[in-house]
Chains A and B, each alone.
Chain A
Amino acid sequence: MRFLLKKPILILLIFTLLPEINFGQQFFRISADFSIKEKISDGTSRLIMGKVYYDLSAEKIIYDISFPEPETWVLKDTTLYRFQSSELLGKTSSFVIPNSSFFHFTLSGQLANFGLKNSGYTIIDVAKKEEQILTTWEPQEERVKSSLGKVVMSNLDKKLQAIVFYNPDNDLLSKQFYKNYINVSGCEVPTEITQINYHEKGQNYQVTSYKNVVINEKGNEIIYDYKLPDL
């Protein structure tokens, strides 16, 4: 009898808690202080610093740059908009698409496979090296294979550690290393990304660092959904 009395309460509790359980781990916003340091093969160096914002639904990456000069960059679709004191300086094409970016993958839980699972890639090999799982991917479609090569990645505890991109001739194009993961409100965020790009003239090195990471910030709509000029 006592069990029967408890049962509706239990059911009520389950229904009340379920939405929390299901949606409690949904991440929709990220912001952080960032710095990008770059060493170019010609011997020059670059540093860019500021704050970055990304909202999963707005699909705009906003770089509020403080160094080398104050500027705001907004990446939307395949276009980079550059603003200075809210005035549009210009727009250029960009190969970084917000919904295929590090920020999107981090919030949507796709960073572990770098979004390859939903990008027409398939696993062709799995191996283990010490504690790490190494996975080799290649494009599924034959016609894509002529322009995109294999991708090799390593994961530790389901977190992406490194990813290597090849061209269709198996020449090394780029390596990325994801380090110093922190857990912010349940979201695993790597705070240091080292990238090595290989090209004919040598290698470019890039280190991106994130500090003061905030997940699911409320308010601040003006910056997360930065207004772009009507096109």
Chain B
Amino acid sequence: MKKIIAFLVPFLITGISFGEEIKPDVLDFNSALIEAQFSDLDQLEEYVLSNEGVTLKEVIAQNNGLNVNLDADMLNNFAVNAGDHPVAGIPSFLWGCVLGPIGIAIVHLDAEDKDQTRKAIWGCVALGGVYALLVAASYIFAFSAYPF
């Protein structure tokens, strides 16, 4: 009998007072707060449903009294963890910067991501810029050191 009581008591205690880590109100749902937060978006949703095929650009252009502070780049921001997907974990900018056109080609073929290719191109442009600056600096140095 004692064993049964000893087994049951911990369950009864947690049942009555909750476990240490469970705060009873953490799982409470504040529906009024949520409804208030989303009333403007609910209106926009209704508008989109009743205007099939409408796009965000059209909604913004039509300016039809919807009072919503819309994120203009919402699709990109919605993309789950729309972070980098660099080739071999190396930033695409570095691929272009270090290997130039070959780096751009590698990123383009491997990542199949226009954003990554663009970054590699900028890396290549930066490499070209640095190279041009170095050449210009060396000429300036040569002319200043050995005036003709």
Is chain B found bound to chain A in the same assembly?
A: yes
Binding site for B on A (CB under 8 A): 35-40, 43-49, 65-71, 73, 75, 79-80, 82, 88-96, 124-129, 132, 134, 136, 150, 152-154, 161-162, 164, 170, 172, 175, 177, 179, 194, 205, 207, 229
Question: A164–B29 Cα gap in the complex (Å)?
Answer: 12
Select which of B69, B75, B113 is within 8 A of A92 by beta carbon.
B113
Contact B11 A93 (CB under 8 A): no
Question: A169–B70 Cα gap in the complex (Å)?
Answer: 34
Contact B11 A37 (CB under 8 A): no
Contact A37 B85 (CB under 8 A): no
A225 to chain B, nearest CB (A): 20
In the complex formed, the residue of B with least CB distance to A48 is: B78
Contact B21 A49 (CB under 8 A): no
B28 to chain A, nearest CB (A): 8
Contact B74 A68 (CB under 8 A): yes
- Taking CB atoms, residues of chain A closer than 8 Å to B65 are none
Question: A149–B48 Cα gap in the complex (Å)?
Answer: 39
- Taking CB atoms, residues of chain A closer than 8 Å to B85 are 79, 90-93
B84 to chain A, nearest CB (A): 8
In the complex formed, the residue of B with least CB distance to A63 is: B78
State whether the Cβ of B147 lies closer than 8 Å to any Cβ in chain A.
no
Question: A35–B24 Cα gap in the complex (Å)?
Answer: 30
B128 to chain A, nearest CB (A): 25
Contact B112 A47 (CB under 8 A): no
- Taking CB atoms, residues of chain B closer than 8 Å to A37 are 38, 41-42, 45
Question: A102–B60 Cα gap in the complex (Å)?
Answer: 32
Contact B113 A90 (CB under 8 A): yes
| CB-CB under 8 A for A205 and B38, given A46-B78, A90-B114 | yes
Contact A75 B80 (CB under 8 A): yes
In the complex formed, the residue of A with least CB distance to B33 is: A205
In the complex formed, the residue of B with least CB distance to A205 is: B37
- Taking CB atoms, residues of chain B closer than 8 Å to A79 are 85
In the complex formed, the residue of A with least CB distance to B29 is: A177
Interface on chain A toward B: helix, strand, loop, or mixed SS? strand
Select which of A47, A128, A164, A170 is within 8 A of B27 by beta carbon.
A164
Q: B96-148: which have CB < 8 Å to A?
A: 111-116
State whether the Cβ of B32 lies closer than 8 Å to any Cβ in chain A.
no
In the complex formed, the residue of B with least CB distance to A172 is: B26
| CB-CB under 8 A for A69 and B75, given A37-B38, A92-B81 | yes
B71 to chain A, nearest CB (A): 4
In the complex formed, the residue of A with least CB distance to B51 is: A67
Select which of B14, B27, B48, B111 is within 8 A of A126 by beta carbon.
B14
Question: A128–B80 Cα gap in the complex (Å)?
Answer: 35
- Taking CB atoms, residues of chain A closer than 8 Å to B69 are 43-45
- Taking CB atoms, residues of chain A closer than 8 Å to B68 are 45
Per-residue contact bits, chain B 17-59, to A (CB 8 Å; 1 contact, 0 not): 0111110101101000010011011101100110011111101
B52 to chain A, nearest CB (A): 8
In the complex formed, the residue of B with least CB distance to A81 is: B112
Question: A170–B26 Cα gap in the complex (Å)?
Answer: 12
State whether the Cβ of B5 lies closer than 8 Å to any Cβ in chain A.
no
- Taking CB atoms, residues of chain A closer than 8 Å to B84 are 92-93
Question: A80–B78 Cα gap in the complex (Å)?
Answer: 11
Question: A177–B31 Cα gap in the complex (Å)?
Answer: 10
- Taking CB atoms, residues of chain A closer than 8 Å to B83 are 92-93
Question: A79–B81 Cα gap in the complex (Å)?
Answer: 10
